[in-house]
Amino acid sequence: MHLDIDLTGRRVVVVGHAREARRIVTRYRAAGADVDRFDTVASAVDELDGATLVVRVDGAAAALPQAPVQDGVLRQRCRDAGALLTREPAASDNGHVSLVGGGPGARGLLTLDAAAALRDADVVLYDRLGPTESLAELAPSAELVDVGKLPGHHRVPQAGINALLVQHALAGRHAVRLKGGDPFVFGRGSEELAACLEARVPCTVLPGISSSIAVPAAAGIPVTHRGVSHLFTVVSGHAPLTDDEHLHLAGLGGTIVVLMGVSTLPQLVAGLGRAGMHPDMPVAVVERGYSASQRTTSGTLSTIVTAAGAARCQSPAVLVIGEVVRVGLQLQGSAAHLARLTESLA
C-alpha cells in the first residue's frame, strides 16, 4: 500500500536494529518526520506518546520466537497511543545495483519500477539526461552524485562510474545508476552491467522510455505511420557514418532517427544526398524534449543545415529524417485548427 501522509514535524517511532533500520530512519527523516529508533519492542512500548506512526522493522528480531507476543503488545500500545502501525522489510547487508532507464526527462515518463528503485536507493549516480529535477524528492534517502559534471566540469570517465557502482554495492548499499532514456540504447549500460557481473555484484536492469521514440513524439512526429513508413532505424551520430552506411540507410526508405547527431548533421545530410535521398525529404531537429525550452526546427535535406545553423540548434537533440515529419506537421496543423475551432465555439 502506498499512503500519502504529510509527516512534516510528526513523531515517527522505528522499532528495529540500527543497521537494519538505517535506510528506513533516513527515509522518514528526509520526509520531515521527527524520528526515534528503539532496538526492541520492549524498549519502545512505553515511548509511543505523541507518535503518529510506528514502524516495525521486519528484520532478524522480528523472526524470534517471542516476536508474535511482542507484536500483540505493540499493536495494543499503538492503539492506546492513537498511532498507526506499519511493518517494513529490513535492509539487507548485501548491496546491489539497479541500472535504471529514466526516460527522456519528464517525471511522468519514469516507469513504476524506476520510481520504486529510486525510492529505495542509498546512492544515485546520475547525469544531465533523465528526470534530474525532482531527484531529491524521488530518492529521499539517497546521496545524489552527478557523474556527468564534477568541479572543473569534467565528467567522471566510464571506468570511474563502473568502479563507483561496484564500490557502493560492495559497501552494502543499493546503488542506482540513473540513465536518460533506456540504459541499453547508446547509454553504455551494458558496460556497467558487465562491470557488476565481473565483481559478482547483483545488478538489475530496468528499461526506460527511449528518447529515440519519445522525443519525436513530444514534437508530434510518429516514427511510423501506416502507408508512410513501416520501419525506423535509430543511429548514433556521435561519429560520421561511412558512405556504405549512408547508402544502406537511404536504401531502406524508412524513418531515420539520429541521437547525438547535431554536430555531424552536415556530414549526414551530405552523405544521404550522395546516396540518392531526395533533397525534399523532410527533416526535423527536436531539441530538449520534455523541457520548458523544447523546440523543433524543421526543413528538408537541402535546407536543414542552414536552418539548424540559423536557429543555433544544440545537443541534446533528436533528428528525424523521413516523410513522417510531414505527417507530424500535418497532425499539428489539424490540432491547431481544432483548437482554434473549439476556441471560436466557446
Residues that bind ligand SAH in the complex, under the rule CB under 6 A: 104-105, 129, 179-182, 185-187, 210-212, 215, 259-260, 288-290, 315-318
> Which CB sits closer to ligand SAH, 59 or 222?
222
d(CA 122, CA 284): 40
> Which CB sits closer to ligand SAH, 23 or 177?
177
Contact (Cβ atoms closer than 8 angstroms) between residue 204 and residue 120:
no
- The answer, yes or no, to whether the previous bond of 316 is cis (omega within 30 of 0) is yes
Q: Which residues pair with 88 in a beta bridge?
A: 57
> Which CB sits closer to ligand SAH, 29 or 295?
295
Closest to 186 measured CA to CA, from 121, 293, 260: 260
* Residue entry with cell 529510486: 118
Least distance in Å: CB of 332 to ligand SAH? 18
> Which CB sits closer to ligand SAH, 301 or 320?
320
Least distance in Å: CB of 105 to ligand SAH? 4
Q: Could you say which of 127, 179, 277, 281 is catalytic? A: 127
Least distance in Å: CB of 210 to ligand SAH? 3
Tell me, yes or no, if 93 is annotated catalytic.
no
Half-sphere exposure of 325 (CA within 13 A, CB side): 23
Contact (Cβ atoms closer than 8 angstroms) between residue 144 and residue 136:
yes
Q: Could you say which of 6, 39, 49, 149 is catalytic? A: 149
d(CA 52, CA 57): 16
Contact (Cβ atoms closer than 8 angstroms) between residue 269 and residue 199:
no
DSSP 261-298: -STTHHHHHHHHHHTT--TT-EEEEEESTTSTT-EEEE
Contact (Cβ atoms closer than 8 angstroms) between residue 48 and residue 77:
yes
> Which CB sits closer to ligand SAH, 43 or 236?
236
> Which CB sits closer to ligand SAH, 84 or 234?
234
> What torsion, rounded to 10 degrees, do the Cα atoms 189, 190, 192, 197 define?
150
> Which CB sits closer to ligand SAH, 81 or 118?
118
Least distance in Å: CB of 146 to ligand SAH? 16
Tell me, yes or no, if 127 is annotated catalytic.
yes
What are the helix (H) ranges across the chain? Answer: 18-30, 41-44, 67-81, 112-120, 135-138, 158-170, 189-198, 211-218, 243-252, 265-274, 304-310, 324-345
**Residue of minimal Cβ distance to ligand SAH:** 181
Least distance in Å: CB of 263 to ligand SAH? 10
Strands of 123-126's sheet in order across: 143-146, 123-126, 174-179, 96-101, 203-206
Contact (Cβ atoms closer than 8 angstroms) between residue 12 and residue 123:
no
Least distance in Å: CB of 99 to ligand SAH? 11
Least distance in Å: CB of 234 to ligand SAH? 9
Question: Which residues are tagged catalytic?
Answer: 127, 149, 260
